[in-house]
Structure 1
Amino acid sequence: MPRFLAVYTMQPKDLDRFRRMPKHEQDAVNAIGIKRWTDWEARHAASFSERGMVGKTTRVTKGGIAEAVNPFCGYIVVEAETIEAAARLFENHPHFSIFPGDGVDIMPFLTDPAP
């Protein structure tokens, strides 16, 4: 089955705004969001082979190595018949419908995994 990389994106300014909210407001968002996220993952578990969160970015260029900022905050590997089917799994996802994420970018893997 085709595999796709789904990358959760969140603008740093939106995360900062969320973190500046009073703790009780953050806790209320988390209580709803985490429940909906885990329910979502349970419903679609057969489609996911790997998932994770990512931390601060280090970029390597011909100019050297330096800290960088990008909108990537997590990923999940999705198995689906088509990219459209993979994308439909994320409609109204808690990452952006509850949490301050701004989207999920979905890209096909162009090579098969190593045996």
Structure 2
Amino acid sequence: MSNNDTFLAVFLGSKTSANMAAWNALPEAERRAREQRGMAAWKAWVEKHQAALVAMGGPLGKTKKVDSSGIADIANEMGAFTVVRAGSHEAAAKMFEDHPHFTIFPGERIEIMPVLPIPGG
């Protein structure tokens, strides 16, 4: 999938963070207003970076872990993902500076990593 210009961005935030506690403590009308402002800002971000989007991605649901012990429900901090193209890892990261995930919504961070070719593939 990559010739080292493709990057996965994972949106992270803890359900027990101070950001989430403050968000949940907002009066419902204020939280809804922030949600609307946040979605408008997110759509503006998408429009600005449309040419770089490989996969819009989306919100992530509950997690199941599969290992040699079987299948189990677990929790993690992943909330959403998107895939972008950029000239460098730094350029990909710069796309997410001041993103509404953490400037408006209670998300904590976005981690960006290159999608590498499959070894020997």
Q: TM (normalized to structure 1)? A: 0.89
How far, CA to CA, are the matches of 1:19 and 1:73 in structure 2? 16
2:31 corresponds to 1:47: no
How far, CA to CA, are the matches of 2:110 and 2:49 in structure 1? 16
Q: What pairs up with 1:48-87 in 2 under 5 angstroms?
A: 48-50=53-55, 51-87=57-93
After TM superposition, the runs of 4+ consecutive aligned structure 1 residues lying more than 4 A away are: none
Superposition deviation, residue 10 in structure 1: 1.2
Q: List gaps (5 residues or longer) in structure 2.
A: none
Q: List gaps (5 residues or longer) in structure 1.
A: none
Identity %: 38
2:111 corresponds to 1:111: no
Superposition deviation, residue 64 in structure 1: 1.7
How far, CA to CA, are the matches of 1:24 and 1:74 in structure 2? 24
Superposition deviation, residue 109 in structure 1: 0.7
**Match for residue 102 of structure 2 among 84, 96, 100:** 96
* Matched residue count: 112
How far, CA to CA, are the matches of 1:48 and 1:83 in structure 2? 15
How far, CA to CA, are the matches of 1:23 and 1:31 in structure 2? 12
